Amino acid sequence: MNRLQRVLSCLLLCALLACTLAAPVSAAAPLSDVPEDFWAKKDIDRCVALRYFYPESDGSFGVGKEMSRAEFLAVLCRCLGWKPTSPARVVYADVPEKVWYAGAVETAYHNGAITAQDGNFRPDDLITRSEAASMLVRALGYGSIAGLIQDMSLPFRDVKANNGYIVMAYGLGLMDGTSVTAFSPNAHVTREQAAAIMMRLHDKLTDPTTSRIGITDSLTNLPDLKGYEAVGIAAAKLVYNGAPQISYSIGERDAVKIRAAVAEAGAKPLLYVTGGAYQIREGDEEKLAAVLLKAVTDGHYDGLFLEVSGLTAVSQRDVLTAAVQSLNEQLGDRLLYVGAEAPSWKGTIFGYDYAALGEAADRLVLRFTHKKETVAGRAVAPLEPLEQIYYALNRLRGVVDADKLTLILTSTGAVWDGRTPTPLAGKEITEIQETLGTRTHYSDRYACAYLTREKGPDVWYLNAQSIQERIQLARLFGGGHLCLSDLNHALPEVLEAMP
């Protein structure tokens, strides 16, 4: 089963389970060892109702009972909707094909949740908290990211190995420490602790708050907008002529037609305004807010989508922050979306006060810089790499309300002929795919598709699998809001994959 099939099957199961939870559940016999005030009672009851766990033969849950590696893996497979293979084949020397957990082990192995480095699984060994973290992260498809972040700091002083997996399990909110400074990696996982972990995973993957927005500049090839929360109409840019000013790229007549189409679909039409460092001058915060407010009100928009890129100075940060805070007060019931460059893995961006912008805006929309680099001797140029998204969301965890964070995803392709990428419309990507000699690839590390050709540079683009993986990661962080960069030229499968 490939990575997309894993993700889709997991999301499908989660949707079915959400329906299950919404429906009345027949009352089950009380578990004899789970009192009403027990800290994990709710998680235990839900896990039993969902059949992730089964009660013991004596009617108890088994509170305090430490789980074996095989038991934990079987529960994880049930939570993710992975059907055990039957009949099972031998994957590990110490897992006979007839044993009750053989099918779950084989399924988990083929889905990447476990590896066969030494040929043994040790099914009867009690699972440690460190091993549980590894299984969780690998099962979600983030083994590569865990390897990249192994040097990332943790608040736990007792973690000496397996750092990347523990960082992710903790950062995604699936596992806590046993104290403020300890993770207890070698301690064993009890049944009630596993129940709490599984319900956290379940709740994150079934979070229904995912929403979509997009950006457009015309009615040409505009897709069906039903289900979109808002659409930014790219009608204006910031310019500077002694003071901040607005330069319009779409005539008022065309803008009226686009606004009407967006509103008719049930979405909020927002004035999308872009700008750069040149237009952000110290002392101009009120002038900047005033000119933007006037553009929104004069144009009869339902709000503003402001995206300013390239800020690196503290003074620019302060001007943008003050202007956004002023707009927040003056726009009233109108929406305010603010786009900012995402925190960089290998650098620091001084131009954005993420906490203040996130507090003032209805949505803080993160844009990721596209770069070309050489990996194993080959030029790669992924769009919104999954590892960069993880880094940004993890860095902003606790800084910005996760429900406000939104990811801008490139809905078109990119070709690097020189030092900067050239956009490629979805229609052009489809034509290249059908060209003789073109081969389609998918990078699991970056969660990004690309095309290689006999003549011409590689084409990088996001496909349905890429979108699903980004939805899953955003949901695990408590968000799940996506913005398509170009609705008019988007790849059809990207539009279809949006939540």
**What's the pLDDT score for residue 23?**
35
Strands 448-452 and 439-443: antiparallel
Q: What is the mean pLDDT of the chain?
A: 91
Asked, as a colleague might, if the bond just before 208 is cis with ω within 30 of 0, I would say: no
**What's the pLDDT score for residue 209?**
77
**What's the pLDDT score for residue 322?**
98
Closest CA to 200 of 435, 419, 478: 478
**What's the pLDDT score for residue 18?**
43
Question: Contact, 186 vs 66, CB < 8 A?
Answer: no
**What's the pLDDT score for residue 2?**
52
Provide block-wise average pLDDT over 10 residues at a time, the chain (499 residues).
49 44 49 94 96 94 97 97 92 94 96 89 97 97 94 92 95 95 97 98 88 96 96 97 95 96 98 96 96 97 97 94 98 97 78 96 95 81 95 94 96 87 94 94 95 91 96 92 97 94
Please give the Cα distance from 435 to 94 (Å, whole number).
Answer: 49
Instruction: Give residue-wise pLDDT tens across range 255-268.
Output: 999 999 999 999 99
**What's the pLDDT score for residue 49?**
95
Other C-beta atoms lying within 10 Å of the C-beta of residue 331: 20
